[in-house]
Structure 1
Amino acid sequence: MQYFEDIPVGRTNSFGRYEVTREEVLDFASKYDPQGFHLDDEAAAKTHFGRISASGWHTCAMTMAMLVENMQNNRQAGLGSPGIDNLRWMKPVFPGDVLRCETTVIEKRRSRSRPEMGIFKSQIRVFNQNDEPVLEMVSNGLVQVRDPDAPIADG
Structure 2
Amino acid sequence: MAKQTLFLEDLKVGDVFISETYELSTDKIKAFAHEFDPQVFHCDEILAKDTFFKGLAASGWHTASITMSLLTKSLPFAHGVIGAGGEIKWPRPTRSTDVLHVKSTIKEIKPSKTKPNQALLFVECETINQHNEVCQHLVAKLLSFRRGR
TM-score (norm 2): 0.89
The alignment status of 1:46 with 2:47, answered yes or no, reads no
Matched with 1:152 is none
Unaligned ranges ≥5, structure 1: 149-155
Unaligned ranges ≥5, structure 2: none
How far 1:33 moved relative to its partner?
0.8
Residues 139/54 of structure 1: CA separation in 2 closer, same or farther (3 Å cut): same
The alignment status of 1:100 with 2:85, answered yes or no, reads no
How far 1:75 moved relative to its partner?
5.4
> Counterpart of 1:146 in 2: which secondary structure?
coil
Task: Report the RMSD for the aligned CA atoms in angstroms.
Answer: 1.6
The alignment status of 1:25 with 2:8, answered yes or no, reads no
Matched with 1:139 is 140
Q: Aligned match of 1:67 in 36, 47, 71? A: 71
Q: Which has the larger radius of gyration?
A: 1
Q: Distance in 2 between matches of 1:104 and 1:12?
A: 4
How far 1:77 moved relative to its partner?
3.4
How many residue pairs align between the two structures? 145
Matched with 2:90 is 89
- Structure 1 window deviating more from structure 2 (88-97 vs 47-56): it is 47-56
> Counterpart of 2:78 in 1: which secondary structure?
coil
Q: Distance in 2 between matches of 1:68 and 1:59?
A: 14
TM-score (norm 1): 0.86
Q: Distance in 2 between matches of 1:16 and 1:113?
A: 36
How far 1:49 moved relative to its partner?
2.1
The alignment status of 1:15 with 2:19, answered yes or no, reads yes
How far 1:78 moved relative to its partner?
3.0
Counterpart of 1:101, as a letter, is V
Would the aligned equivalents of 2:18 and 2:74 in 1 still touch at CA under 8 Å? no
